[in-house]
Amino acid sequence: MSSSSSRAEQILHSVFGYPAFRGEQQAIVEHVAGGGDALVLMPTGGGKSLCYQIPALLRDGCAVVVSPLIALMQDQVDALRQLGVEAAFLNSSLDALEQREVEKRFARGELKLLYVAPERLLTERCLDLIERTPVALFAIDEAHCVSQWGHDFRREYRELTLLHERFPQIPRIALTATADAPTRREIVERLALESAHQFVASFDRPNIRYRVVEKDDARRQLKDFLAAHRGESGIVYCLSRRKVEDTAEWLAGEGFDALPYHAGMEAVLRARNQQRFLREDGLVMVATIAFGMGIDKPDVRFVAHLDLPKSMEGYYQETGRAGRDGLPSDAWLCYGLGDVVTLAQFIAQSEAGEERKRVERRKLDELLGYAETTACRRQRLLAYFGETLAEPCGNCDNCLDPPETWDATVTAQKALSCVYRTGQRYGVAHLTAVLRGETDERIQSLGHHQLSTFGIGADLDKQQWRGVFRQLVATGLLTPDEEGYGTLRLTQASRAVLRGEQAVHLRRQADRAGRRAKRQTA
Ligand code: ADP
Ligand code: ZN
């Protein structure tokens, strides 16, 4: 063991030029080099590649690396060749002649690492080749692609169990940065990794400060947030291409070096914006989630979300692009009731099957739980990845400025009965008007001024009611309609509140803003 570990270290120094292993890299390398199967869960940037590259060099034969990312294969192979390691790839970007050449080199035992797209690997031609050639190990990168629960399911990944059935003596190492419990279970099951050793790195990014703010005037809020980051590089995520364009243009008008990025842009311009962001200092990239895959810029100081991400994984990946250099960075999410309605509508109206929709809806609910939590955000985020942080982090908004909660049971009952009395057919604006006892023409013509809930909520202003409704939706006491008109309906859970069997505690938001304002003037 110790001689193999020192050989691993030698390779780390002499081939890769690094002074020391990071985290669990050494344990993983030794385990796989010794012939064991492994499942490696490590955040992006954690150093997963070395976990199979060094065992590849320590063992006889060539390592076969399955990767779905054709663009990144080229980069990996180039980097290895620069280090003097014989590496190549097989994917659809090669013509027949080039492909033949790579196969020959593999068969002659000239390669130490061969990157293969899954659909290519599963061809009989490729499997035959593997049968006749000594293989050091199989590395299955982006292993979450086997999971339907994951965000980029690939059908071919499901068939990779074939590797185990056909070549049981060859060790396998599966790697992913998506480590929530359902995905992890599916990876183990689908890839038959029950007896593999699981290496789970911490997903904590202690230098990132998490903050969530209630959306009221998003542009002004963004401007205030960016004011504290003048001259720094950062990313502003928006849901739609249109909003990316508008926001970038508006920010440029406000004197920020802002560039747009989304998949609908002309390829040349998009590539140029990306290059500028990587090379220059202090650019704000306004982007859809199309931006970020494979982006490794160490000094991104902030990631702002003007719209809700679709899931906790998405949020973690996107915010994780901040602070790769370990220096203090900000993750800032601005969200409001409208976002919840929009996303719920997206899900309901998508082409996906019922099962998929249920999964998406659960993911959105997890994220809403995060956005509304009054406890430590980092604890909540890490808990999602199955990790327990013993103490509150001290570096998120809720730790730094603990939110006050109030007993909102009666207020919630008023809101819910107003939804019920008006027939579960109206949105927040109308419900608030009825609760506040406003007599406009619409209310008159609908006869809503005669309802028992008319005027029973005059103690709260419009803004406060908006906050109450948002929290009721986020906590599942109300649900937006699937047609996307923003109308709210009762849920199973609302009944217990209406019957007085369950208390409701909400965060006090208006006061919070007020407190902050006071502190700033003091
Ligand atoms: P992942 O695949 O987990 O996102 P990579 O394998 O691409 O991460 O590694 C991320 C970065 O960290 C790369 O630039 C890599 O060279 C570097 N790196 C990995 N391991 C070490 C180490 N032990 N010492 C120094 N740098 C490392
Ligand atoms: Zn915290």
Instruction: Kindly report, residue by residue over 382-406, the tens digit of the pLDDT.
Output: 988 888 899 999 999 999 999 999 9
Q: What is the structure's pLDDT at 354?
A: 85
- Name residue, tokens 């990779």: 160
Taking CA atoms only, the protein residue closest to ligand 1 atom 17 is: 47
* CA distances from residue 248 to 268, 278, 419, 430 in whole angstroms, order as listed: 18, 17, 39, 33
Determine the distance separating the centroid of ligand 2 and the alpha carbon of 207, expressed in angstroms: 12
Q: Write down the pTM of the prediction.
A: 0.80
Please tell me the distance between residue 185's alpha carbon and the centre of ligand 1 in angstroms.
26
Q: Give the distance (Å) from ligand 1 centre to CA of residue 28.
A: 14
Per-residue model confidence as pLDDT tens digits over 157-216: 989 999 999 999 999 999 998 878 888 889 999 999 999 999 998 899 999 999 999 998
Q: Which ligand lies nearest to the CA atom of residue 212 in the structure?
A: 2
Which residue among 11, 22, 199 is best mutated to probe the pocket of ligand 1, counting the most ligand atoms within 8 A of its Cβ?
22
Alpha carbon of 183 to ligand 2 centroid (Å): 25
Write down the pLDDT at residue 150: 66
Low-confidence ranges of the chain (pLDDT < 50): 1, 511-522
Q: Are 109 and 143 in contact (CB under 8 A)?
A: no
What contacts 450, CB < 8 A, 6 or more positions away? none
Q: Residue 178: nearest ligand to its CA?
A: 1
CA dihedral sign, ordered 171, 177, 178, 184: positive
Residue 341, SS3? Answer: helix
Mutate to test the pocket of ligand 1, among 5, 10, 18, 76 (most ligand atoms within 8 A of CB): 18
Distance (Å) of CA 508 to CA 175, 407, 471 = 42, 10, 11
**Which residue's CA is the closest to the ligand 1 atom numbered 15?**
47
Which ligand 1 atom is at minimum distance from the Cα of 45? Answer: 4
- Which residue has its alpha carbon closest to ligand 1 atom 24? 18
Count CB atoms within 10 A of the CB of residue 413.
18
The CB-side HSE value for 385 (13 A sphere, CA atoms) comes to 26
Reported ipTM: 0.98
Residue of 48, 50, 82 to test ligand 1 pocket, by largest number of atoms within 8 Å of CB: 50
Give the number of the ligand closest to the Cα of residue 210.
2
Q: What ligand 1 atom has the least distance to the C-alpha of 42?
A: 3
Q: Which residues line the pocket of ligand 1, CB cutoff 6 A?
A: 18, 21-22, 25, 42, 44-50
* Distance from the alpha carbon of residue 211 to the mean position of ligand 2, in angstroms: 9
Residue bearing the CA closest to ligand 1, atom 5: 47
Tell me the CA–centroid distance for residue 104 and ligand 1, in Å: 30
pLDDT at residue number 517: 44
Atom of ligand 1 nearest to the CA of 19: 24
Shortest-distance atom of ligand 1 to CA 21: 23
Question: Tell me, what's the pLDDT at 79?
Answer: 94
User: Could you tell me if 176 and 186 are in contact, meaning their C-beta atoms sit under 8 angstroms apart?
Assistant: no
Sign of CA dihedral 23, 25, 31, 34: negative
CA of 177 to the centre of ligand 1 (A): 13
Report how far ligand 1's centroid is from the alpha carbon of 2 (Å).
23
Atom of ligand 1 nearest to the CA of 177: 3
Alpha carbon distance 91, 245 (integer Å) = 35
**Ligand closest in space to the Cα of 374:** 2
What pLDDT does 41 receive? 94
Of ligand 1's atoms, which has the minimum distance to the CA of residue 22? 23
Closest-lying ligand to the alpha carbon of 47?
1
Q: Closest residue (by CA) to atom 20 of ligand 1?
A: 47
Ligand nearest to C-alpha 204: 2
Instruction: With H, G, I as helix, E, B as strand and everything else as coil, classify residue 193.
Output: coil
Q: What atom of ligand 1 comes closest to residue 16's alpha carbon? A: 16
Pair type for strands 478-480 and 488-490:
antiparallel
